[in-house]
Amino acid sequence: MLNLNGSMWIVGVDLGGSKVEVILARRDRVVSTFRGEGLNRQVVGEELVVIKLCEMVNYVLRNHGLVRVDMLVVGGAGLGRSREQKSLEHALYGHDIADKVIVRSDAEIALWGALSGKPGVVVIAGTGSIVFGMNERGRLFRAGGYGYVIGDDGSGFWIGREGLRAAIAAYEGWGPETALKELALKWFTVRQMEDIIPKIYSDISPQRVLSSFAIAVIQLAENGDEVAREIVENGAARLARITVSLLKKLRLKKARHLRITGGIFKDKIFREKFMADVKAAYPKIDIAPAEHPPAYGAVLLGLSYAKEENAKKSKKSRS
Amino acid sequence: MLNLNGSMWIVGVDLGGSKVEVILARRDRVVSTFRGEGLNRQVVGEELVVIKLCEMVNYVLRNHGLVRVDMLVVGGAGLGRSREQKSLEHALYGHDIADKVIVRSDAEIALWGALSGKPGVVVIAGTGSIVFGMNERGRLFRAGGYGYVIGDDGSGFWIGREGLRAAIAAYEGWGPETALKELALKWFTVRQMEDIIPKIYSDISPQRVLSSFAIAVIQLAENGDEVAREIVENGAARLARITVSLLKKLRLKKARHLRITGGIFKDKIFREKFMADVKAAYPKIDIAPAEHPPAYGAVLLGLSYAKEENAKKSKKSRS
């Protein structure tokens, strides 16, 4: 039977390509939070991911005089299928750091964190963007995402890219005049627009380069540049459209809860346009910031799982 | 004095990231054409580019019993500035394969090939897209391009990406219904749209993957799919807009010559929309396929240079 008393130690992990967040909790109370470098399974392979991940978890445990915990819950991108989940669980059991190991998708822990287990939708707009939903029967849905080359509408990357495209168009004379032109030349510290090309393509992450340029585009929109404002609003409108299509798919019967998270939602123009568009379709929807980060969602998911398992077992032992 | 008689041997090279084309000519008559693997200076470095390039040229020369030629003219991407040109010229002189070495930008040899030296504009729509122009005083201009992340409007990559985006939107229910949905699943041999993600991002060239998908998108447009047709026409319209803005900048006083080249122009819908939009701005413009490929443009450029130099020298020797 799983330890569910006050001394139960649980570790929740958000395994991302750009960062890994580890939360050590005693039941639902956070004891320690650790943030490490991102681990991309598709780039470095599962073996190295497991080693690096265990290093991070062990580091957190040692700081609290622990050598193992009752439960380890990991959620991450590319872990949506049972095969990948089982494989990573198996490898983590091998390192003997937890009595119980659970691996789930990034969607599932994001939803658990954002909504504390309630059915609803979470919209993430950071470097990338994606929309996850869970209906009243616990079934998961997703929309958008697909990465920077073909998707991520309304993300930091997307806004940065559209901002730079508008700057180029103004510079070359085939798009409307905008302060984005001067902004881009200054931000990338070049005298000719052409010289921006190597700055984008020689970086290992064009996503990161353009996502940080997005901050400047958003600032310009706030300062009244019409073209920049249109880009920010267009990004928000696209993400709202994807969100509304997912809300429709969930067919929620009770209250509709929507949680938003990620750096881009900090911008007022973006947030207000997004909310206005969603409310045009669902006037009574409850929109609020995500309640907790995904790593804490992993903790909550683990606790819920433990409760269910214990309930099953005590029922069995009684019968 | 440069050899300008009938036995003059000249090599023209189009040094591209996806292919290298080498033309051996006896004055302006092509003797041999060789196509080798692409060489990206920004990826492999100048040293290796020089070695590989000399290997290709030497291979062509040996096949014709030659050890060196009168002139070697190389044009390529990222060779727009005098510094890069001089550096590559210097390195090529070191390999002692030509009495005279000239290095120029991809724009210059493309224009020489497409227009045989006339002032005008060449529009390229292959995997990427770009517009180059030369005014009556020989000054070069460019517009568009900027690579797949931020530019290349109307290119094969661009059409493939927009086609896949429309497929995803239809699949997820936030875009109009289109046969692109089934086409994408079939073409990428996946059952769920999500499974396309690794097919794009684990390939070393997402450009190439999406550019080859563009052929299928174009086919669907030809077969009457409205969404696919809109994408192809939108790509053509964007490229036409960039072209018109460059034509304005050239301020040509005499006839306006426009040359088109690259696989995407083979499509009727694309070509006709492009031509209609350009003719709306310049009704009398002369639009035709490029007269010669860029590697032959390098040969023509070299011959013109030799003639000028010889004229200067004979003037000098007479005075």
DSSP A243-275: HHHHHHHHT-SS--EEEEESGGGGSHHHHHHHH
Strand ranges in chain B using DSSP code E only, listed in sequence order: 9-15, 19-26, 29-37, 69-76, 98-105, 120-125, 129-134, 140-143, 257-261, 286-289
Test the B interface: residue of A132, A146, A205, A251 with most B CBs within 10 Å: A146
Question: What local confidence, expressed as pLDDT, does residue B317 receive?
Answer: 74
Taking CB atoms and an 8 Å cutoff, what residues of chain A touch B197?
Answer: 146-147
Taking CB atoms and an 8 Å cutoff, what residues of chain B touch A146?
Answer: 168, 196-197
Average pLDDT over chain B, rounded to whole? 92
What is the C-alpha separation between A151 and B175, in angstroms, rounded? Answer: 13
Average pLDDT over residues B249-275: 94
Tell which wins on pLDDT, A31 or A317: A31
Contact assignment for A147 to B197 by CB distance below 8 Å: yes
A–B interface: beta-carbon pairs under 8 A:
79
Average pLDDT over residues A300-304: 94
Closest-CA distance of chain A to residue B306, Å: 31
Q: Is the pLDDT of residue B299 over 90?
A: yes
Q: Is the pLDDT of residue B296 over 80?
A: yes
DSSP letters spanning B269-283: HHHHHHHHHHHHH-T
Question: What local confidence, expressed as pLDDT, does residue B319 receive?
Answer: 64
Q: Which helix (H) or strand (E) holds A11?
A: strand A9-15
**Segment A81-134, tens digit of pLDDT:** 888 899 999 999 999 899 999 999 988 999 999 999 899 999 999 988 999 999
Q: Is the pLDDT of residue A1 over 60?
A: no
Domains of chain B: 9-116+293-318 (3.30.420.40), 122-289 (3.30.420.40)
Contact assignment for B244 to A174 by CB distance below 8 Å: yes
Are residues A103 and A92 in contact, defined by beta-carbon separation less than 8 angstroms? yes
CA B1 distance to own-chain centroid: 32
Closest-CA distance of chain B to residue A150, Å: 6
CA B298 distance to own-chain centroid: 13
Are residues A231 and A181 in contact, defined by beta-carbon separation less than 8 angstroms? no
Q: What is the ipTM of this complex?
A: 0.85
Contact assignment for A174 to B249 by CB distance below 8 Å: no
Q: Is the pLDDT of residue A2 over 70?
A: no
Taking CB atoms and an 8 Å cutoff, what residues of chain B touch A80?
Answer: 194
**Segment B202-256, tens digit of pLDDT:** 888 888 899 999 999 999 999 999 999 999 999 999 999 999 999 999 998 888 9
> A129-134 and B286-289 as β-strands: parallel, antiparallel, unpaired?
unpaired
Closest-CA distance of chain A to residue B193, Å: 9
Are residues B163 and B180 in contact, defined by beta-carbon separation less than 8 angstroms? yes
Q: Which of B118, B109, B136, B155 is nearest to B258 (CA)?
A: B118
Contact assignment for B149 to A249 by CB distance below 8 Å: no
Question: What local confidence, expressed as pLDDT, does residue B2 receive?
Answer: 66
Q: Is the pLDDT of residue A79 over 90?
A: no
Q: Which residues have CB under 8 Å from B147's CB, separation 6+?
A: A197, A200, A201, B128
Tokens at residue A46, please? 């599962």
Taking an 8 Å Cβ-Cβ cutoff, which residues of chain B contact chain A? Answer: 42, 80, 142-144, 146-151, 161, 164-165, 168, 172-174, 194, 196-198, 200-202, 206, 210, 241-242, 244-246, 248-249
Question: What local confidence, expressed as pLDDT, does residue A16 receive?
Answer: 84
Taking CB atoms and an 8 Å cutoff, what residues of chain A touch B201?
Answer: 42, 147, 149
Are residues A118 and A133 in contact, defined by beta-carbon separation less than 8 angstroms? no
Taking CA atoms, A238 is separated from A43, A162, A175, B163, B259, in Å, by 30, 13, 21, 17, 37
Taking CB atoms and an 8 Å cutoff, what residues of chain B touch A147?
Answer: 197, 200-201
Among A150, A201, A248, the residue with its CB nearest the CB of B164 is A150
Question: What local confidence, expressed as pLDDT, does residue B315 receive?
Answer: 78
Of A163-177, A224-238, B72-86, B263-277, which gets the smallest average pLDDT? B72-86
Closest-CA distance of chain A to residue B285, Å: 19
Q: Which of A141, A120, A159, A117 is nearest to A256 (CA)?
A: A120
Phi then psi dihedrals of residue B130, to 5 deg: -165, 160
